[in-house]
Amino acid sequence: MTIEAVPGGDVRTKKGMRTRARFIEAGKIVFARDGFLKSRIVDIASEAGVSYGSFYHYFDSKEQIFREIAEEMEVRLLSMDDLSSGSQISDPYERIKAANRSYLTAYRANADIMRVIQEVETYDAEVHASRVRRQAEFADRLAASVHRLQRSGLADPEIDTQYAAIALGGMVAFFASAFFVAGGSYDFDEAVEQLSILWANAIGVRRH
């Protein structure tokens, strides 16, 4: 079934938002399958089950929908790797381990689209800027989490939280890319364990 565009329709309605979401999900599939340069709007519309003409009620171009997808993926991945004190896990090492497992699980599930995002980032300044902005926000959250551990006497008080957040968050992200995008041969559970040991040792969190 193909949905036809409604001339002058309001894309802010519930139906409009659902159609827009269908384009986004279809875009992920098409970009992941075909890459950015070979993907076509007609293919995205077909995958979404929406008429080609409807696309321009929601997006100005292929570049716009891709940038929104890249932003959404960055938010989704970074929200998985949070050492928040609100976690149901009380032990700090186990929180680190759970956060790393969640991040790697989400990255593995979205590796094909992440590969394309990394490629496009090298020549699209907006995609690059969006990733840098989101990663900076994430580093601030991690820094705050490390600071809470320091105040509780559970982490090395001499560590600069911002440096630690950037270095350790970057370590996990780089490893995920090497594992799932570059095709590194690693055991998933052992990767979670080793990354978590490195994280904990770096900030002085004891493992029980």
If you ran DSSP here, which 8-state letter would residue 3 be given?
B
**Domains 14-59 and 67-203 equal at CATH topology level:** no
Q: For the segment 154-195, what is each residue's pLDDT rounded down to a tens digit?
A: 999 999 999 999 999 999 999 999 999 999 999 999 999 999
Structure-token pair, residue 87: 């976690």
Q: Where residue 87 falls among pLDDT bands split at 50, 70, 90?
A: low
Residues 28, 33, 39, CA angle at the centre, nearest 5°?
75
The reported pLDDT for the residue numbered 80 is 63
> Tell me, what amino acid is at 108?
R
pLDDT digits (tens, 9 = 90+) for 17-44: 999 999 999 999 999 999 999 999 999 9
CB 39 within 8 A of CB 85: no
What pLDDT band is residue 9 in, cutting at 50, 70 and 90? Answer: very low
Q: Which CATH architecture has domain 67-203?
A: Orthogonal Bundle (1.10)
pLDDT at 84: 54
| Every domain of the chain and the residues it spans | 14-59, 67-203
If you average pLDDT over residues 33-61, what whole number do you get? 95
pLDDT band at 208 (very low <50, low <70, confident <90, very high): confident
Arithmetic mean of pLDDT over the chain: 90
Say what the pTM is: 0.85
- Give the H or E element holding residue 121: helix 111-121
**More confident call, 3 vs 58:** 58
**Which pLDDT band holds residue 11 (cuts at 50, 70, 90)?**
low
Q: What is the mean pLDDT of residues 82-103?
A: 80
Q: What is the mean pLDDT of residues 83-87?
A: 54
How far, in whole angstroms, is CA 147 from its chain's centroid? 24
Percentage of the chain surpassing pLDDT 90?
80
Please, which residues have CB within 8 angstroms of residue 53's CB and are 6 or more apart in sequence?
4, 5
Q: What percent of the chain has pLDDT over 70?
A: 90
Question: In the CATH scheme, what is the code of domain 14-59?
Answer: 1.10.10.60
The predicted pLDDT at position 83 comes to 59
Supply the pLDDT for residue 86.
53
Torsion angle of the four alpha carbons 206, 160, 174, 122, in this order, in degrees rounded to the nearest 10? 170
Q: What is the pLDDT of residue 76?
A: 86
